[in-house]
Structure formats: structure tokens, C-alpha cells
Chains A and B, each alone.
Chain A
Amino acid sequence: MKKKKKEKRNHRLSIVFCTLVYLFLFLPISVIVVNSFNATTTKPYMSWKGFTLDWYVKLWDNTSLLEAFGNTMIIAVVSTILATIIGTLGAIGMYRYKFKGKAMIDGLLYIPVVIPEIVLGISLLTIFARVNIPRGMLTLILAHVTFCVPFVIFNVRARLAGYDSSIEEASMDLGANRLVTFFEVTLPVLAPGILGGALLAFTLSIDDVIISYFVYGQTKTYPLKVMESVKSGVAPDVNALSTLILVGTIVFVFVTQGDLFKRNRSAMQK
């Protein structure tokens, strides 16, 4: 059957192509993972010298690295929480209320999304320097919140677009005041958008290199510590840490998305 042969060939080509792209995406990560088990200590540690778990053990002695990682996590969590709250409130407020200057704020929101991060980084650096705020944890968190908020707002806004506000009217009709309505009706319905925004904010915070590079002061974050370690030439325990982080995130993703899988399946069965 001509048609079936063509379809099979196309199908095979698609699989090959996609596999190649996925390989490309995961290649450098696999280098890191494999090297974390590599028993070589000399540079160039590119040749395989045997399997070892040493680096995972030595990792726990590297307090500065662990501290840097801790900093990254703290910043990510705090920034995400703050950005989510500020962003959600902002999105709802902008959706509901008319006021002067709304267009201007809207425009400002697009700036962190569109402008290259380096510009944001140096502008924050200059203003912190001018106002004499010592660079460190505080500036990092302020910076991260600033570039995360717009993403939260866009996600919540997308959810608001399909939102039927008559459910709020129904709630008040049934006796709930505005505050109760907000927590019982508005927030739960917006939840997917809020969570999507929060997830995005968290990802951006962990992944951030450029902005953090300019405002970190003495507080080393994980990527910056890595940059330092690599320059000084010793990095295998960094590989171990990176591998652990990767495994951790994969587990986390599957745990959180797991119920999404279940929900999807039951929705499809209906």
C-alpha cells in the first residue's frame, strides 16, 4: 500500500529527527552527569578513569558550594512567593479596575520580558550603587522579584481572559462578602494560571545568570560559584551537585505533574 509505506517512512523520520533534537538538548547535561562519576582528578578530566562516588562524598565538605546552592534556593523560593503574590494581585486589579496610568504600567511590564537581561542587570546595579544599598541577598531577591512579576501577571491574565466574573456575583448573592469571595471563588478558579506563573518564576530564578551576575555582591549563588570554581580549575564535585539537582528536579516535576497526568486521564475517559 503506497499510502501506508509513505506514512511509515514519515513516522520513522519524525522519530529520528526528534530523538536527535532531544539528544542535543541533553548532551551537555549527560556530560556533567557522567563526569560526576568519573574517578579522574587531573585536568583534563575528560578521559574516563573509572567509576567512583567520591565526588558525592567530597561534596558535603565543600561548604562554600553548598552555601551557594542554599542561597540560590532561598532566593528562588522567596522571589517566587513574593512575585506570585504581587503579580496575582496586580493582574486581578488591572483586570478589574479602570484607572489612569494603566496603560503605562502595562507598558512597564513588558520591559523585563523584552529587554535583554544584561540591561536590567546593569540598571539595577547602578541604582543600587547610587542609593548605596550593599549588594547581597537583598538586592538579589529584589532583582529576581522584579523580573519574575511580569511573567506571573501574563499567566494570570491569560487565565482571567476566559474568566466568567458572574460566579463572583453568585457568591455575593449567596451571602459571602468580597474578601470571602476572593478566597473561596476567585483564587481557586484562577489557580492554574497562578501556579503556572509561579512555576515559571521559579524556573527563571534558578536559571538566572546574567542579572545575578551584576547584583550579587558577596552573596555567591550557585551558578556564580560554579563560574568561580571552574576558573580555578577544580570542578568534579560541582558535577556531583549538578547531577543531584537535576535528579531532584526531575523527581519534583514528576511528582507535581503526576496528578496532572491522572486528572488528564480521567478527563479523557469522560
Chain B
Amino acid sequence: MGKIVEIEGVNKIYGTNHVVKDLNLSIEEGEFLTLLGSSGCGKTTTLRMIAGFEEPTTGTIMVEGERVEDKEPFERNVNTVFQSYALFPHKTIYDNIAYGLKMKKVPKAEIKKRVCEMMEMVQLSGFEKRYPAQMSGGQKQRVAIARALINRPRVLLLDEPLGALDLKLRKQMQLELKRLQKKLNITFIYVTHDQEEALTMSDRIAVMHDGIIDQLATPAEIYEHPATKFVATFIGETNIYDGCITKIENGIATLTLENGAVSVKCPEDFSLLEYATISVRPEKMKFAMEPVEGFELTAQVKDYIYVGSVLKCIVSLPNGNELKIERLAGQELPEIGSRCFPYWEAGDAVLIHNESHYIFEELNNIRLA
């Protein structure tokens, strides 16, 4: 499989607003790649640059090996599914879907055949003569997809297409889109702010933040081994600890935090005295009634929140920070107000480089072990 879209050194600046910063991204043919991030991170702008609605300030974009920054949207072999669907209100569903083929001057008989096929594929047969105003949100969604896919683009761009649908429909459509993508073997570039959606559907996710890609990896990799603090906190729930590495021994690092020292498995690119951050998912956190070797945290149990299948426990540390620990309902639980000792398996936590170098005052008194 080759690279079908290559973005190199792309910047987009609006006036003084630097929306996309030196972006480099290669997308493999046939993959489902999601650009994930909150509003303003540059994901939609990036998508629009691939589609041709925005021009990069600097940098190049290549689709199937050809440079396209200069090309108009109608000159690119790329199609878009819009967030608002953008169905032509004055044309029937049939004419909407047939539009792209009409522009390519495909003969009428063939248009009819392909439109019927496509409508069957998205389960909209029988709606040919209807108008968009007569369709429900989910139906309009499928028309938008059909209208784009019928042109057999090499790359399909989807801009938060499921945002306007209710939860149940959204989950259904997520599976349908994934199924469609696999069946047609088209490269999908998907934009969303919904991390659960991204984890469900994607082959790879590019987590974007403030105009740059924080991490580009598979969903599992992103969840288990977040590369930055932003990725760790954006995807799923987690507990974050900032500290300084005060000892490295046998591949295990000791991180000194404001509340005490903790242990974590240490990758090779970390060094002594480096400021770093640990991320531990609530389901990986444990707490004991006795101190555990390698951990100096003590906490007080504050609250239990019942969420159906699990219990979320909130414990508070001496400096006021709160931790979220997950327990399966039915497991034994300490009483509220009692003291406990949080810990984890060294390999269950992730060590992350700390870009901001925030550190607390007490570090002046650190003793090296």
C-alpha cells in the first residue's frame, strides 16, 4: 500500500492567527485516518486544504503523487462529506447523488445504473424523487455519503459528519461507515472531536492540538501509550502526575512528586533529573490499606460515584489534588474518610516528557537517592 496523501511542511495563517503549524502527515492508501482534537486545533482547516477550499500559506499537499495546492476543488479526485450535509435543496435526491457524474458528463443510462446501485448501498432505494427537506437527519446523512462516494474518489474527506445525529443513530452510522470503507477500500480521512468515535472507527488517529499533531498512532497505542500530556488527558479518563525523575534503576524510574515518590517503567529516552509526567488510567489504579514499596502516596477516600457497571472512587491527596480510581461494582471498598495508599503496577503507567517544565516549590529540597 502506498502513500495516497502527503502533507509536507504545511502552514496556514489567517492574519495573525497561525492555525496549522508546519504539519507533516502521510496517509496510507485504504486506511481510515482520523484527525482528532477540540475546536480550533486545525483539524477542519487541514481537511479543507486537502479538499481545496483553503490554500496552504506554505507547504505542499500531494494526492496520488501529484501536487494539488494549486488545483481547484473540482480539479481534484477527492470528495467531501460536509458537516451540514450541504444537499442541494432544489434538486431531488436522485439529482443530488447524480450531480458529480453529471459534471463528468457520464451518459444518462450509466448515471441511472450507478445512482440506483449507490442508493441501494446506503439503503435509500425508493427516495429518488424526494427532496432534502422531506428527509430525516440520518437519511440526509446517507444521501451526502452516496453523493460523494458515487464519484469513486480515491480519498473521501468527512468533516464531523455525525455531529447532528442522536446517540443511537450515531453509533449505528459509525459502524456503517466503517463497513462501507472496508468494502469499497477507499481512503477515509475523518475529522471529529469525539474521541470515542475516533477510537472505534480509525486505523490510525492523528491527535491534533493547537495546530500541530501531538501523536499519530493506532487507537490502542494512543490509549495505552499517550505521547503527550494533552493526548493522555484528551483520550479517555486519566490521572496525571507531574514530577522529576530522581532515580533510574533496572528500567524503573522513581518520580518525585509534590505528594511523594512513585515508581514507573522507564523508556530509554528519559534521563535523570528530567521533568516528566505520569499518566495512569483509572482502571489501572489500585489502592491498598498498607503502604506499598516504591510508592509514597497517601490519600483519603472522598466519594464513590455509581455509574452502572463500575464505581468511580475519588480519593484526595494531601495537596488537594484528586485521583479517579475505578473499581468494579461488587469489589471490596474502604470506607469514606479512611486512609489509603494508591499505587500501580510499574508497567501500567505511562511516562511522558513534560514540555512545560512546570514544577513545584518543594523540589529545592530533593535528595538524590
| A4 CA to B55 CA, complexed, in Å | 9
In the complex, which residue of chain A has the Cβ closest to the Cβ of B72? A3
Is chain B's interface secondary structure helix, strand, loop, or mixed overall? Answer: loop
Give the chain B neighbours of A1 by CB distance below 8 A: 55, 69-70
Q: Is A2 an interface residue (CB 8 A)?
A: yes
Cβ contacts A to B, 9 pairs, < 8 Å: A1-B55, A1-B69, A1-B70, A2-B70, A3-B55, A3-B70, A3-B71, A3-B72, A4-B55
Which partner residue on chain B sits nearest A3 by CB separation? B70
Q: Which of A1-33 contact B (CB under 8 A)?
A: 1-4
B70 CB to closest chain A CB, in angstroms? 5
Shortest CB–CB separation between residue B297 and chain A, in angstroms?
44
Give a binary string over B57-90; 1 marks a CB under 8 Å from any A CB, 0 the rest: 0000000000001111000000000000000000
Nearest-CB residue, chain B, relative to A1: B70
For A2, the closest partner residue in chain B by CB is B70
Chain A's closest residue to B71 (CB) is A3
Please, how many angstroms separate the alpha-carbon atoms of A3 and B69 in the complex?
Answer: 9
- Mark A residues whose CB is within 8 Å of B: 1-4
CA distance A3 to B70 in the complex (A): 6
Q: Report chain A residues within 8 Å CB of B69.
A: 1
Chain A residues near B55: list those with CB within 8 A: 1, 3-4
* Chain B positions within 8 Å of A4 at CB level: 55
Least CB distance, A54 to chain B, in whole angstroms: 51
**Complex alpha-carbon distance, A199 and B71, angstroms:** 47
Q: Which residue of B lies closest to A7 (CB)?
A: B55
Residues from chain A with a CB closer than 8 A to the CB of B72 are 3
A12–B70 Cα distance when bound, in Å, is: 20
A8 to chain B, nearest CB (A): 13
Cα–Cα distance between A148 and B245 once the two chains are bound (Å): 81
Residues of B within 8 A of A2 (CB): 70
Instruction: Give the Cβ gap from B2 to chain A, nearest Cβ, in Å.
Output: 27
Question: For the complex, what is the distance from the CA of A3 to the CA of B72, rounded to whole Å?
Answer: 7
B73 to chain A, nearest CB (A): 10
Q: Which B residues from 79 to 106 make CB contacts under 8 A with A? A: none
Q: In the complex, what residue of chain B is closest to A6 when comparing beta carbons?
A: B72
A4 to B70, CA, bound (A): 8
